[in-house]
């Protein structure tokens, strides 16, 4: 993965209205009536989907009656849309002509008439102007940053400028513009703010690096994730998930609820430590200093990404602040550990008599570090450390976040869960998955595809223009900071039917695995173009193995009295208070040894899924609330 950091964020409730009290103003753009309708429709749906935590009553009860809270939310949303549409948020241009223009606009003079009379005051009239919205930082302080961006997208369209005081960003939600930036003209864009924020921890690692450094390192690192390596990793995913299953087994016996978000974070940390530099953090069973140090560094990266002031650059403060001291100590601990691992690995490489070739892999230590050293990477280089650190962070938080939101979504859709369990029962039985199972676990893969659509990690990709360019019909200048909102692309009512619905069936089982190319950049869970994620296959298999093994053994429900699940952003979308679940052992259902999973059979399993879910309920060996 990748870590993308949003330069402003704060906790947000999935079910709350964007608290947009700010004066958001735009020049000429008027929202088309269809967009207004879609906007309202979308929010009503979002609220309906998001407010249930699986055991609470659904938003619409059996008789189709909505709760008072829900109706209130819908009313508030409709009011907001109406205010945006009325032009209340329209940017007022400075200067006498624009004051006159705004005054005339308020008394109802049509925009076309105003355009005609005021065109000679506009120096850039030869080109259309990017629609513009203006905000105050406090306006988004109660929101995850990408939520108000969605509402603004429905109002202003696939590209608009968002201005906060002296800072301005271009927000892109149009697939063809995203494709232009990420793929067709990718050379004209750098990682911009992202590289600045991550410098302290990733240096010039593959994610923040640009230009020649990136080109050389990408060419060095990509071959390390060859097919044989990924196949070897399947075993690691299985063993590590088994540890998590053992932990959950204990929780079920002791009738304790579990906080799944932190467990997923530990699972993926253990996986990535072994996969990247053959180090077993064993964080699922231990809490050593090194684990705390890794988390301190990660949290700091996220804090920096949302801080309006770069406090870490303030002279003296950066040396005396206890927090910065702790971060520096943690960084030193992690770097020292990395140095030790590099030294150990180098000794192994020197002692082995394996010939280096395309699919080179040391069976005892298949790690990426081992491959890089065997391929001739310089042990003493800072670049190697930067890349290792980058992959540790990139491959950890993203996968953990996808698993967290997948289980949240599954807890709300028992039919999907039953269908998923049916597939896993018949494909795997009680085996640990193998590489061959990856293509058979089709529905499992679709569940993950759909989870990544609804909760893309990261929700926004960051770029900066290195030269003047055109985005669609709009000219832009060098130095523009750009956010490509993957959240908006993935939830756009223009590209998706029932965009907010968790519906793995939208991806045909026999169709291609959805990606940015076959979805024309409307779907980019792993980015696109030359900077696409290098760990996409690794991560996909890691998540398939984890989901399959967990749902085979357990049922998952939101714990009674668990806090409502709300979103907050940093590098990825986190929950604000964790994902507290009640986990129960499944009664082992009969295993039908099926090698192939034809479409018909899976479709049939949907009808039998009701029965299975009854079986699952009855099959609970323990229940924390029984």
- Residue 527 lies near ligand HEM (rule: CB under 6 A): yes
- Residue from the set 388, 534, 546, 583 that interacts with ligand HEM by CB under 6 A: 534
What string of DSSP letters covers 167-198?
EEEEEE--HHHHHIIIIITGGGEE-THHHHHH
Residues 307-366 that bind ligand HEM (CB under 6 A): none
Quick note: the x/- pattern for ligand HEM over 444-463, rule CB under 6 A, is -------------x---x--
Question: Is 533 one of the annotated binding-site residues?
Answer: yes
Shortest distance, position 68 Cβ to ligand HEM, whole Å: 38
Query: Considering only 1-9, 162-170, 302-310, 359-367, which stretch makes contact with ligand HEM by CB under 6 A?
Result: 1-9
- Residue 218 lies near ligand HEM (rule: CB under 6 A): yes
Query: Considering only 55-63, 129-137, 328-336, 522-530, which stretch makes contact with ligand HEM by CB under 6 A?
Result: 522-530
Residues 374-403 that bind ligand HEM (CB under 6 A): 390-391, 394-395, 398-399, 402
* Sequence-ordered list of residues with C-beta below 8 angstroms from that of 251, at least 6 positions apart, any chain: 257, 258, 583
Helix%, strand%, coil% for the chain, nearest 5: 55, 10, 35
Shortest distance, position 569 Cβ to ligand HEM, whole Å: 14
Rounded-to-integer distance, Cα 69 and Cα 58, Å: 12
* Contact between 381 and 512 (Cβ < 8 Å): no
Cβ-based nearer residue to ligand HEM, 438 or 534 = 534
Shortest distance, position 304 Cβ to ligand HEM, whole Å: 17
Q: What is the DSSP letter of 208?
A: T
Shortest distance, position 205 Cβ to ligand HEM, whole Å: 7
- Residue from the set 526, 541, 554, 556 that interacts with ligand HEM by CB under 6 A: 526
Tokens 């400075």 sit on residue = 94
- In Å, how far are 277, 543, 588 from 242, measured between CA atoms? 21, 13, 17
Cβ-based nearer residue to ligand HEM, 34 or 513 = 513
Cβ-based nearer residue to ligand HEM, 476 or 533 = 533
CA contacts within 13 A on the Cβ side of 254: 9
Residues 100-129 that bind ligand HEM (CB under 6 A): none
Cβ-based nearer residue to ligand HEM, 182 or 342 = 182
Q: Hey, is 584 helix, strand or coil?
A: strand
CA contacts within 13 A on the Cβ side of 199: 10
Shortest distance, position 486 Cβ to ligand HEM, whole Å: 7
* Contact between 255 and 623 (Cβ < 8 Å): yes
Cα dihedral angle (361, 366, 368, 373), rounded to 10 degrees?
A: -60
Residues 188-207 that bind ligand HEM (CB under 6 A): 206-207
Sheet holding 481-485, edge to edge: 132-135, 159-164, 167-172, 481-485, 460-465, 189-190
- Residue from the set 304, 491, 531, 580 that interacts with ligand HEM by CB under 6 A: 531
Cβ-based nearer residue to ligand HEM, 257 or 450 = 450
- Residue from the set 4, 13, 444, 485 that interacts with ligand HEM by CB under 6 A: 4
* Contact between 360 and 354 (Cβ < 8 Å): yes
- Residue 539 lies near ligand HEM (rule: CB under 6 A): yes
Cβ-based nearer residue to ligand HEM, 30 or 218 = 218
Cβ-based nearer residue to ligand HEM, 414 or 535 = 535
The two counts, helices (H) then strands (E), for the chain are 21, 14
What string of DSSP letters covers 90-151?
PPPPSSHHHHHHHHHHHTT--HHHHHHHHGGG-TTTTSPPPPEEEE-GGGGTTS-THHHHHH
- Residue 538 lies near ligand HEM (rule: CB under 6 A): yes
Shortest distance, position 52 Cβ to ligand HEM, whole Å: 25
**Closest by CA position to 476, among listed 191, 161, 184:** 161
* Contact between 550 and 448 (Cβ < 8 Å): no
**Closest by CA position to 363, among listed 487, 469, 231, 471:** 231
Shortest distance, position 207 Cβ to ligand HEM, whole Å: 4
Quick note: the x/- pattern for ligand HEM over 482-521, rule CB under 6 A, is ----------------------------------------
Cβ-based nearer residue to ligand HEM, 218 or 506 = 218
Q: Which residue ranges make up the annotated binding site for heme?
A: 533
User: What residue numbers does the annotated binding site cover?
Assistant: 533
**Which stretches of the chain bind ligand HEM, using CB under 6 A?**
1-2, 4, 206-207, 218, 390-391, 394-395, 398-399, 402, 457, 461, 525-527, 531, 533-535, 538-539
């Amino acid at each position: 993965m990748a870590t993308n950091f949003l330069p402003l964020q704060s906790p947000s409730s999935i079910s709350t209205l964007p608290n947009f009290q700010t004066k958001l103003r735009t020049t000429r753009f008027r929202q088309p009536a269809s967009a207004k309708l879609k906007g309202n429709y979308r929010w009503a749906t979002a609220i309906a989907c998001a407010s249930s935590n699986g055991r609470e009553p659904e938003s619409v009860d059996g008789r189709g009656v909505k709760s008072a809270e829900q109706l209130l939310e819908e009313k508030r949303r409709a009011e907001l849309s109406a205010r945006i549409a009325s032009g209340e948020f329209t940017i007022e241009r400075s200067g006498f002509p624009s004051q006159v223009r705004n005054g005339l606009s308020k008394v109802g003079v049509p925009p076309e008439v105003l355009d005609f009379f005021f065109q000679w005051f506009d120096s850039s009239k030869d080109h259309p102007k990017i629609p513009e919205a203006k905000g105050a930082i406090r306006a988004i302080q109660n929101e995850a940053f990408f939520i108000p961006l969605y509402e603004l997208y429905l109002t202003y369209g696939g590209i608009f400028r968002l201005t906060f005081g002296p800072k301005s960003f271009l927000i892109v939600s149009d697939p063809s513009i995203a494709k232009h930036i990420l793929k067709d003209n990718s050379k004209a864009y750098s990682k911009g703010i992202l590289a600045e924020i991550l410098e302290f921890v990733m240096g010039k690692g593959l994610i923040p690096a640009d230009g020649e450094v990136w080109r050389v390192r990408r060419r060095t690192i990509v071959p390390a994730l060859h097919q044989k390596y990924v196949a070897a990793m399947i075993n690691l995913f299985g063993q590590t998930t088994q540890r998590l299953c053992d932990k959950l087994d204990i929780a079920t016996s002791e009738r304790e609820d579990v906080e799944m978000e932190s467990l997923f974070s530990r699972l993926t940390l253990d996986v990535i430590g072994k996969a990247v530099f053959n180090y077993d953090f064993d964080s699922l069973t231990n809490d050593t200093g090194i684990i705390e140090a890794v988390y301190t560094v990660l949290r700091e990266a996220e804090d920096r990404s949302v801080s309006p002031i770069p406090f870490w650059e303030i002279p003296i403060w950066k040396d005396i602040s206890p927090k910065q001291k702790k971060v520096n100590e943690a960084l030193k601990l992690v770097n020292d550990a990395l140095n030790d691992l590099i030294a150990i690995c180098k000794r192994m490489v020197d002692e082995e008599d394996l010939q280096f070739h395309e699919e080179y892999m040391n069976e005892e230590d298949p790690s990426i570090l081992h491959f890089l050293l065997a391929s001739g990477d310089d042990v003493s280089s800072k670049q190697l450390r930067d890349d290792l650190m980058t992959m540790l962070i990139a491959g950890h938080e993203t996968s953990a976040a996808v698993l967290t939101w997948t289980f949240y979504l599954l807890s709300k859709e028992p039919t999907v869960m039953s269908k998923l369990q049916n597939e896993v029962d018949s494909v795997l039985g009680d085996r640990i998955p193998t590489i061959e199972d990856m293509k058979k676990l089709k529905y499992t893969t679709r569940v993950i595809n759909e989870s990544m659509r609804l909760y893309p990690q990261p929700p926004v990709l960051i770029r900066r223009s290195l030269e003047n360019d055109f985005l669609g019909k709009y000219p832009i200048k060098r130095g523009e900071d750009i956010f490509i909102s993957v959240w908006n692309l993935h939830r756009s009512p223009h590209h998706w039917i029932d965009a907010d619905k968790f519906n793995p069936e939208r991806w045909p089982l026999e169709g291609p695995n959805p990606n940015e190319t076959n979805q024309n950049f409307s779907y980019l869970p792993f980015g696109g173009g030359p900077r696409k994620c290098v760990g996409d296959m690794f991560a996909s298999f890691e998540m398939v193995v984890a989901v399959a093994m967990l749902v085979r053994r357990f049922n998952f429900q939101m714990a009674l009295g668990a806090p409502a699940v709300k979103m907050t952003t940093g590098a990825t979308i986190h929950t604000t208070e964790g994902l507290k679940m009640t986990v129960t052992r499944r009664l082992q259902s009969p295993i039908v040894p099926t090698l192939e999973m034809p479409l018909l059979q899976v479709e049939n399993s949907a009808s039998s899924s009701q029965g299975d879910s009854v079986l699952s309920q009855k099959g609970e060996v323990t229940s924390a609330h029984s």
